[in-house]
Chain A
């Protein structure tokens, strides 16, 4: 079956807010850059357009009707995946492998700064009968509950999660598009306010605006466009359940989606074969869960490895060299896109001052609160 490659990437952002541009305009910017990067004319060359968006983030019902214009997709097959960008990539791969498209475009964006009541949107995702009516707390309490359970289960102390924050915020200092990067220490994190005990403010990714567009192509076409494209070797996605009482709270969704993607990519020893990982760190403990789930470390051993620098940009397996969502910001459904973008730029050798040496990279995302759903993509050069 045909291989699929990334032949063009473009992005706009990432900013804490973008009051000067509409979401259509930031998306257009990202799309123009992606088509320029791929060397294609979207009106002539693109066969299908996939957008990843969630109506309540956007503030539109039936958001898919707004998709075509800013992506050059007018009068073309388009659809919207109500999930993160990495689910869109999986759909793009299916479009191409099935023969329905030779060139497919995947897009996601965040205009989080347009949402005035972010906590209420998250709360609106909670079950209306047995979760929403309980209490007046900000819905992040669900993350705090999970962190509490998980750290207790593994025996991780708070210092471990504070180290994740310090590592990622420092990594972000080398990324010109990481508005929340900072030169801080684990002790600074530990002394920040606990907004939702045991979750501190600095352990939670702030929101950001931006748009990301990928151009995917069938292998033979990809090689015509670029002799050395970045390959998509595996995709995986998985859901546990919507019931918080039967969720694993150990990111089983990430473990299973990684297994699906690894099998497709022929990876049987991830800790040895993967050079670079960008994982969902929108709450610091999530990065630790996801490192375990991706089999980059054994359960319960992440704390020692973190402390030894194993996941640093100069370590054995650099994790979130982009600075992660803790530096770049929570890009809503474009979160996985930022992670995939970083992997692609790193594999191409185009990551500037934050460049590390890598041949195989993995991007992983979680579908945010209150879900136990996620996706994984494996890339190589």
Chain B
């Protein structure tokens, strides 16, 4: 786009000459059809500057696979399932059919607890479109009791004021009623502070 203050040589007696525009820091020659002037509202209104809107209509059906299918079926039953590596003995949540560190199959299944520890958290005030959320949402990475250290899931926290959350806080899963569970990670509604009696 031509900018009148930046390189357009502006000398009317040289109309036949090639217009010079500023692009980056260099003055480069532009073809004569480039009209150098500042962008104005009417350039958009008159569609001198044009654009075409389009959006993808693309859908997928992601195969969950062996490990995650069993994990999701477990959630439906109110259980968190993990796999164990026979070499490094890690108990892995979410479960996988292989240990990515040892590159060995991991086919031993164990149930872990639905309690854990907040490893890190964030309080979101806006949605992906940058619009304000009605209620701030607290997202946390939770290491799960019974899994290897630092293994766990990313989920939401609830029943807690944002300013009461801290790293190291013990939390417990709040499940949807059994009849409403559908084998999704959202079968856990959120995690709430585990009250210490």
Contact = CB atoms under 8 A, between A and B. Distances in A.
Q: Which of A21, A22, A56, A68 has the most CB of B within 10 A?
A: A22
Interface stretch (B50-58, B140-148, B189-197): B50-58
B68 interface: yes
Q: Majority SS of interface residues in chain B?
A: loop
Interface in A171-228: none
A115 B56 CA distance: 13
A222 B61 CA distance: 41
B63 A128 contact: no
Contacts of B102: 43
A121 interface: yes
A18 interface: yes
B98 A19 contact: no
Given A120-B57, A120-B58, A121-B58, A70 B98 contact: yes
Measured as residues with beta carbon below 8 angstroms from the partner, the interface class of chain B is: 20 to 34
A138 interface: no
A114 B61 contact: yes
B48 interface: no
A70 B61 CA distance: 20
A3 interface: no
A116 B67 contact: no
A42 B66 contact: no
A366 interface: no
Given A42-B103, A74-B101, A116 B61 contact: yes
A117 B103 contact: no
Interface in B98-117: 98, 100-103
Nearest to B97: A25
Contacts of A22: 62-68
B59 interface: yes
B60 interface: yes
A2 B170 CA distance: 57
Contacts of A68: 100
A120 B102 CA distance: 39
A303 B128 CA distance: 57
Nearest to A56: B58
19 contacts: A22-B62, A22-B65, A25-B67, A32-B103, A41-B103, A43-B103, A59-B62, A68-B100, A69-B96, A74-B101, A114-B61, A115-B58, A115-B60, A116-B59, A117-B58, A121-B56, A124-B58, A132-B54, A133-B54
The 7 residue pairs across chains A and B that have the minimum distance between CB atoms: A22-B65, A69-B100, A59-B60, A72-B103, A116-B59, A25-B65, A128-B54
Given A21-B66, A43-B102, A117-B59, 18 more contacts: A22-B64, A22-B65, A23-B63, A23-B65, A24-B65, A25-B66, A28-B97, A41-B103, A111-B63, A113-B63, A114-B61, A114-B62, A120-B56, A120-B58, A121-B56, A124-B58, A129-B52, A132-B54
